[in-house]
Amino acid sequence: MNEQATWQRHLRLRLSDEWERALRWGTGASFLHRLALSAWMSGVWLLVGSTFPFPPDAHTAPGAAVPPLDTAAEQVIFGVWRRWDAVHYLLLASRWYTAEDPCPTVFGPLTPLGFRLFDTFIPGPLDLAAMAFETTCFALAMTLLYRLCAVYYGDEGLGKWSVAVTTLLPLSYFFQAPMSESVYLAAALGAVYCGATGRWVGFSLLTILATFARGQGVILILVGIVMLVRIRGGWRGSGPVVAAWNIIRSGWPLAFAPLGFAVLILFRRVAGLPPLDTVYRECSYVFVVNPVEGLLINLRWAALNPIDAIRDPDTLALLGSGLAFPILIAWKPHRRPAMLGYTLGHLAVFVSKINWEYGTQTVLHTQSLARYTLVLFPVTIMVADIVRRLGRFPRLLAFGCSAAGLLSFSAMYALGGGIP
């Protein structure tokens, strides 16, 4: 075997070992996360929720036309996950998108499609297929998070800490709920990983998938452009014309990334669905403003309702993200233009959605923002970097407080309360 062949074989083995470690961490974290939460949330229902005068799968949506859970075991195992938007995703998976019931149609089709696909191969209730899909997507997301830290941040050790911090976030149970958090995070991380390694066809395909999961996936197009310009060395050296040509020649697949959003619009028109703003306004009691106005509305609500704001996870998440962003800018290892754009772009979309009080025109703030911020992985990576630099006792305290929050919020979710 010649020297070049030996080097190529060594490189393949090395890459295989790196992915094996990432898969081991990603799948292990996801399955342990699922098992621990399932046992905990089912136990909470058996100890507390069993005193409620209704089955667990009907707690927050007694009139939802989702497939029933026939046995007591199914209700306890799967029913505790049927909360808030999860019911809408299960409804879409079972009945698909219909103009007669427009309210669930605000959600992207990738998640219910995944439920349907897994349900084709997995016997049992739809909820089991949804559970398998979510656990698989979260495992993929954690694997990609590990690899992104190794390749893009140049720090494989940071990948382990980032996976650990993500799984212990107080709201990380949403990654296992039948919603879009895990599949969107997996697609977004996959797109950024492809961008970091110069795979622009993969970047565009994963951006399209992310957009099918959530319309906000179109933000990744700008992230990809920033990454492409940075990788190609910007405009320096060869002049703007040559540099522009090199960028276009390398990144032409990015031109197809917006197709995801165009297909979503076409899909809604073909299905005869009402415009999204109409559904938001009439079903979700949400209206959309520009990001600056949205931020001011949120801050105004917090100033006028300080006691409620202190206890409101959405407002705390907004303030925490606002404090984290300057640290991302100031801390050199995390001062990455693409990641700053990813974080700022998502925050701008999040605060643009303002809720009315249900059934009224009383303006509140951005509800569910705490859940939305789960996909801000650049912030999570930065937090993981901070945590690993702490002493043993502060680190254990940080993990302990986060785990306690996870147990508390997931218990409230199982009982039909907590964060929507």
SS3 content of the chain, % helix, strand, coil (to 5): 75, 0, 25
Least confident piece of the model among 64-68, 84-88, 154-158, 229-233: 229-233
- Give the residue among 368, 357, 402 at the shortest CA–CA distance from 383: 402
Q: Which residue has the higher pLDDT, 42 or 417?
A: 42
Query: What does pLDDT average to over the chain?
Result: 89
Asked whether residue 326 is assigned to any structural domain, the reply reads yes
3-state secondary structure of 363: strand
The model's confidence at residue 59, banded by pLDDT at 50, 70 and 90, is low
Task: Specify whether 305 is located in the same domain as 243.
Answer: no
For 169-214, how does the pLDDT look when each residue is reduced to its tens digit (9 = 90+)?
999 999 999 999 999 999 999 999 999 998 999 999 999 999 999 9
Same domain, 206 and 245: yes
pTM for the full model?
0.92
Q: In terms of domains, do 267 and 214 share one?
A: yes
pLDDT of 12 higher than 60:
no
The number of folded domains in the chain is 2
User: Within the chain, what is the greatest distance between any pair of CA atoms?
Assistant: 75
What digits encode the pLDDT tens for the residues 225-237?
A: 999 887 766 555 5
200 and 97 belong to one structural domain: yes
3-state secondary structure at position 356: strand
Where does 48-180 have alpha helices with state H? 72-78, 85-95, 110-121, 126-151, 156-167
CA distances from 31 to 1, 171, 179, 337, 381 (A): 42, 17, 17, 33, 21
Q: Does any domain span residue 253?
A: yes
> Do 360 and 398 belong to one domain?
no
Residue 141 and residue 95 in one domain:
yes
Same domain flag for 225 and 365 = no
In this prediction, residues 222-251 reach a mean pLDDT of 69
pLDDT band at 58 (very low <50, low <70, confident <90, very high): low
Q: Which residue range(s) make up the domain with 379? A: 285-389
* Residues 109/91, Cβ–Cβ less than 8 Å: no
Angstrom distance (rounded) from CA 83 to CA 414: 8
Share of the chain above pLDDT 70, in %: 90
Kindly report, residue by residue over 84-130, the tens digit of the pLDDT. Answer: 899 999 999 998 998 888 889 999 999 999 999 999 999 989 999 99
Inside any domain, residue 216: yes
Q: Are residues 222 and 354 in the same domain?
A: no
Which secondary structure element, helix H or strand E, spans residue 353, and what is its range? strand 353-355
| 200 inside domain | yes
Does residue 419 form part of some domain?
Answer: no
Residue 66: which pLDDT band, with cuts at 50, 70 and 90? confident
- Do residues 195 and 274 both lie within one domain? yes
Residue range 378-402: mean pLDDT, rounded: 96
**Residue 249 counted as domain residue:** yes
Residue 111 lies in a domain: yes
249 plus 376 within the same structural domain: no
On whether the CB atoms of residues 297 and 364 are closer than 8 A, the answer is no
Same domain, residue pair 191 and 163:
yes
Please indicate, yes or no, whether residues 214 and 278 belong to a single structural domain of this protein. Answer: yes
Is residue 420, in this structure, part of any structural domain at all?
no
Structure tokens at 210: 């992310």
Give the pair of three-digit tokens for residue 196: 């970091």
